[in-house]
């Protein structure tokens, strides 16, 4: 028997969510972000599921890109952080990868490589995130140096929004303005929109959109749920009840006795904890869905287990299924309780939890 703790992955829902990207950004090509093991869903699983519907795949680093090529992903693969050493340039070229050039030292490596074969590149402009990219006033110079290196391969200028998830003061129009003034009128292909901007800012769609989180069915918009947006969750993380006990009034449950019974209580122990990616900071009351009801977490999250107050649901028994995130609670709702974000919960889910890919 296997430990009954698993993550079911629904490729059909990821395809549905990509369809929503197409509905929103009808003229743009879609660069599906599959970095960090496709936000925990499985890099190869997700990329294969999207191969015929995405126009390309974005990863963080060459290690992720090479896994995709090894698994016969032939679409463009963009390395968002660009090369991390000079020798990655030749390898990227031989594997037909696309480099995002963010920094002068990356441009120098490219010049030193003196490639004869084509190499597609994106070039990032730092329009306000201040993490990666060329400052707007030197972008023209960087492009002038880059273009001779890549011959006539595809070239895209891009930027990234810092706060597109926020309903107000998200800075999208300000960042787009900086972008347009530095490169916007020069006829290069462009890419600016992440998931949040796909929903919020049609003027940001340009030639390529770069959805990540929304593909996995999380809401990228602070004020809307995924369900409101028509997104379907791509993962259900579940475990089973492995113990039930009666706890008298006044007794405490779990580490440091954080939760105390205010009445004679029935506590169910579930076989998933922070060692499985459940957020350790989840407070008492965080919803766990068992036997058709949202029931409150009672006591600190342990490494391998959590405890839930099931006093009001006598149907809960050993072997009952507990959904930690999925349809209910949505990963965003759980993250809200735990002072986290759904991105972190998904990307942080360890290998220990088997991913079961549903047809």
Ligand X SMILES: *Cc1c(COP(=O)(O)O)cnc(C)c1O
Token readout for 197 is 């901007």
Of residues 14 through 33, those in contact with ligand X by CB under 6 A are 33
Mark the segment that binds ligand X (CB under 6 A) among 4-12, 148-156, 168-176, 189-197.
Answer: 189-197
For residue 35, is it left (φ>0), alpha (ψ between -120 and 50) or beta?
Answer: beta
Token readout for 309 is 């107050």
211 lies in the site for ligand X, by CB under 6 A: yes
Look at residues 205, 210, 212, 214 and name the one whose alpha carbon lies nearest to residue 28. Answer: 205
Mark the segment that binds ligand X (CB under 6 A) among 205-213, 227-235, 248-256, 315-323.
Answer: 205-213
Residue 44's CB is within 10 A of a number of other CB atoms, namely: 16
Look at residues 98, 46, 51 and name the one whose alpha carbon lies nearest to residue 72. Answer: 51
Residue 328's CB is within 10 A of a number of other CB atoms, namely: 16
Residue with tokens 């993550």: 7
Query: Residue 156: beta bridge partners?
Result: 122, 189
The nearer residue to ligand X, 93 or 191, going by C-beta atoms, is: 191
Q: What is the nearest approach in angstroms of ligand X to the Cβ of residue 132?
A: 8
CB 156 within 8 A of CB 189: yes
User: Which candidate in 35, 124, 213, 278 is catalytic?
Assistant: 35
The nearer residue to ligand X, 126 or 276, going by C-beta atoms, is: 126
| Whether residue 13 has a cis bond before it, omega within 30° of 0 | no
41 lies in the site for ligand X, by CB under 6 A: no
The nearer residue to ligand X, 131 or 281, going by C-beta atoms, is: 131
The answer to whether 303 is a known ligand-binding residue is yes
CB 310 within 8 A of CB 316: yes
Residues 214-253: x where in contact with ligand X by CB under 6 A, - otherwise, as a string:
------x---------------------------------
The nearer residue to ligand X, 35 or 200, going by C-beta atoms, is: 35
Q: What is the nearest approach in angstroms of ligand X to the Cβ of residue 174?
A: 18
User: Which candidate in 70, 174, 255, 317 is catalytic?
Assistant: 255
Question: Binders of ligand X: how many residues, by CB under 6 A?
Answer: 12
213 lies in the site for ligand X, by CB under 6 A: yes
274 is catalytic: no
Out of 40, 76, 83, 212, point to the residue binding ligand X (CB under 6 A). Answer: 212
Look at residues 49, 66, 42 and name the one whose alpha carbon lies nearest to residue 359. Answer: 49
Out of 15, 24, 41, 160, point to the residue binding ligand X (CB under 6 A). Answer: 160
Do the bridges between strand 121-124 and strand 155-158 make them parallel or antiparallel, or are there none, so unpaired? parallel
Mark the segment that binds ligand X (CB under 6 A) among 18-26, 86-94, 194-202, 272-280.
Answer: 194-202
Instruction: Report the C-alpha gap between 250 and 228 in whole angstroms.
Output: 41
Out of 68, 77, 80, 310, point to the residue binding ligand X (CB under 6 A). Answer: 80
194 lies in the site for ligand X, by CB under 6 A: yes
Q: What is residue 105's DSSP assignment?
A: H
Instruction: Report the C-alpha gap between 43 and 187 in whole angstroms.
Output: 33
Mark the segment that binds ligand X (CB under 6 A) among 19-27, 204-212, 300-308, 315-323.
Answer: 204-212
Instruction: Report the C-alpha gap between 68 and 207 in whole angstroms.
Output: 23
174 is catalytic: no
The answer to whether 131 is a known ligand-binding residue is yes
128 lies in the site for ligand X, by CB under 6 A: no
Look at residues 334, 335, 315, 329 and name the one whose alpha carbon lies nearest to residue 268. Answer: 315
Q: What is the nearest approach in angstroms of ligand X to the Cβ of residue 165?
A: 8
Q: What is the nearest approach in angstroms of ligand X to the Cβ of residue 133?
A: 10
- Grouping H, G, I as helix, E, B as strand and the rest as coil, residue 14 is helix
Look at residues 124, 209, 126, 133 and name the one whose alpha carbon lies nearest to residue 175. Answer: 126
Residues belonging to the binding site are 131, 303
Residues belonging to the binding site for substrate are 131, 303
Residues forming the site for ligand X (CB under 6 A): 33, 35, 80, 160, 194-196, 210-213, 220
Catalytic residues: 35, 255
């Amino acid at each position: 028997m296997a430990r009954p703790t698993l993550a079911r992955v629904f490729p059909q829902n990821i395809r549905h969510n990509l369809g929503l990207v197409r509905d929103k950004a009808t003229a743009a090509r879609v660069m599906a972000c599959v970095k960090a093991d496709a936000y925990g869903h499985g890099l190869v699983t997700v990329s294969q599921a999207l191969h015929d519907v995405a126009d390309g795949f974005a990863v963080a680093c060459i290690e992720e890109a090479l896994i995709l090529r090894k698994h016969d992903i032939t679409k463009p693969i963009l390395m968002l952080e660009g090369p991390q050493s000079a020798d990655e340039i030749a390898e990227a070229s031989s594997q037909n990868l696309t480099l995002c050039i963010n920094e002068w030292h990356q441009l120098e490596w490219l010049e030193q490589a003196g490639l004869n074969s084509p190499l597609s590149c994106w070039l990032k402009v730092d329009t306000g995130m201040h993490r990666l990219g060329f400052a707007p006033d030197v972008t023209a110079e960087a492009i002038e140096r880059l273009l001779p290196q890549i011959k006539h391969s595809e070239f895209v200028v891009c930027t990234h929004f810092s706060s597109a998830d926020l309903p107000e003061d998200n800075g999208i129009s300000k960042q787009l303005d900086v972008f347009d003034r530095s490169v916007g009128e020069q006829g290069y292909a462009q890419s600016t929109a992440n998931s949040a901007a796909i929903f919020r800012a049609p003027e940001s769609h340009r030639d390529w959109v770069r959805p990540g989180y929304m593909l996995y069915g999380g809401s990228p918009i602070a004020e809307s749920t995924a369900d409101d947006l028509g997104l379907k969750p791509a993962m259900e993380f579940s475990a089973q009840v492995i113990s039930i006990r009666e706890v008298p009034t006044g007794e405490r449950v779990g580490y440091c006795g954080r939760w105390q019974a205010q009445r004679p209580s029935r506590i169910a122990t579930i076989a998933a904890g922070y060692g499985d990616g459940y957020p350790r900071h989840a407070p008492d009351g965080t919803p766990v869905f068992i036997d058709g009801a949202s029931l409150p977490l009672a006591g600190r999250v342990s490494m391998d287990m959590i405890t839930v107050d099931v006093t009001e649901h006598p149907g809960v028994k050993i072997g009952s299924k507990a959904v930690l995130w999925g349809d209910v609670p949505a990963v965003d709702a759980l993250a809200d309780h735990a002072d986290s974000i759904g991105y972190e919960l998904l990307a942080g889910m360890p290998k220990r939890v088997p991913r079961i890919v549903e047809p």
